[in-house]
Structure 1
């Protein structure tokens, strides 16, 4: 990847993970910044972009996380499918528990349909928490892959720094509509442009933090690598099915959202196979 400077590949993997998380946070902020230029966004465009984001996450889960998890298990002499299956289910269970107890509100729904424990928090706070919840596995995925790459090709089952960079780029691409999806509704609700932007970008803050945690964890506890990758994949797929796909079809643009998802899947697949 010629556009990545050589010195980046020589950085400590935890620092690389931090950079990857900061990049994805930055793209979220870029999407949220559109609130300074317009008060609303076309529903068809946003639904298509949300579908695209879902497709990216599905492809990333398969090519960047599940397949490397299986390869790593084989390299460690473990039955290949066991860590992938266990980690995947645990990732989904983790998000389900978070959904049940953390107050949050999915995009496009009224305040009285907030999930989690009862709270009097404002709608804006609940919207940010919803996106923040599903940004955690994205940050973990980036960090875990950078950590896996640092261990070496033979042990990590093919995980490379380039593959981790590709994953960060893919997640960054799908973070763009998420920033817009938070800031625009808040602006329409009467918040100032600056407050709407701040809430939109705030949801991405968790990604560099979780990326650092993921990288550090797998470096110091190498046997959890295949489980950790599958865990991130399971959490991401849970988010896609429980949140992104339903939200992309709220306004009746089902076909457009579906085509967007297929396009996002192909883009991420090509990025991972061609570059990773």
Structure 2
């Protein structure tokens, strides 16, 4: 595989690498097809599991890399993380207010509860937003090969794509399962789940083409996505998983989701 990729342009390498990450998101989202006759407790636990995945991903996949990238940027390494994180929360707050005033029936007609519709829209938006800087990061890693093309740097870029792809598996599940919980059909839940990863190949190509301009803003973009995800978890995911009274089950499921995502992120570096 390394030999095949070595003879390909960095932009195409980035595109191929993120096709894999998108495919893993779709694979995770496809688990919704195997849920048969799930009761409310299971569905609430899956919503909380999604919250745990999102919290862990916010730190290990987004904030921690953002801080590492900022160490040699000329500013304190915590500044991009704090600025991006807070801006992400502010954006989602604004989107939340806008969503409450518009009609989402065109796309979410199979979800009857208006509160659930709002939660669905915010969940899909935040997970999609989170995948954009990850795609950019892969694109930058492959784009850098244009100036320093060695087998070790190519292997590092491929390892990054592999790691993000494996992490994307539970993230795809974390989107599709809650959507099905709120009344969306399995097929539509899957489509929205895999769509959240579709932006990665697009972002990767942009990152590879504009590596010099994209690299300095990556810490802010990663932290921005983390802030958006934490806002959704705090405002919608945790309260939603408690709505039917399954508080203890939801709390433990959130911790399990966090532990699974933490283990993947740390193990895959």
TM-score after normalising by structure 1: 0.75
Partner of 1:23: 24
Partner of 2:138: 146
User: Which of 71, 81, 86 does residue 83 from structure 2 map onto?
Assistant: 86
Partner of 1:192: none
Partner of 2:58: 61
3-state DSSP class of the match of 2:110? helix
From the superposition, tell whether residues 87 and 23 of structure 1 become closer, same or farther in structure 2 (CA, over 3 Å).
same
Partner of 2:102: 117
2-structure distance, mates of 1:145, 1:99: 27
Matched length: 245
Matched, 1:209 2:198: yes
Report the aligned-residue RMSD: 3.1
From the superposition, tell whether residues 61 and 162 of structure 1 become closer, same or farther in structure 2 (CA, over 3 Å).
farther
1-structure distance, mates of 2:104, 2:55: 32
1-structure distance, mates of 2:169, 2:254: 16
User: Which of 211, 231, 236 does residue 224 from structure 2 map onto?
Assistant: 231
User: Which of 21, 40, 44 does residue 43 from structure 1 map onto?
Assistant: 40
3-state DSSP class of the match of 2:71? helix
Q: CA deviation at 1:81?
A: 1.0
Unaligned runs of 5+ in 2: 7-11, 146-155
3-state DSSP class of the match of 1:62? helix
From the superposition, tell whether residues 98 and 267 of structure 1 become closer, same or farther in structure 2 (CA, over 3 Å).
same
Residues 1-276 of structure 1: matches in 2 within 5 Å?
Answer: 6=2, 12-28=13-29, 30-34=30-34, 38=36, 40-102=37-99, 115-118=100-103, 121=106, 123-124=109-110, 127=117, 129-150=121-142, 161-176=158-173, 178-183=175-180, 186=183, 196-219=185-208, 220=210, 221-276=214-269
TM-score after normalising by structure 2: 0.76
2-structure distance, mates of 1:274, 1:45: 28
2-structure distance, mates of 1:228, 1:133: 15
Unaligned runs of 5+ in 1: 103-114, 154-158, 188-195
Q: CA deviation at 1:205?
A: 4.4
Assess if the C-alpha contact under 8 Å between 1:141 and 1:232 holds in 2. yes
Assess if the C-alpha contact under 8 Å between 2:53 and 2:174 holds in 1. no
Between structures 1 and 2, the one with greater helix share: 2
2-structure distance, mates of 1:54, 1:207: 16
Stretch moving more, 8-17 or 239-248: 8-17
From the superposition, tell whether residues 54 and 180 of structure 1 become closer, same or farther in structure 2 (CA, over 3 Å).
closer
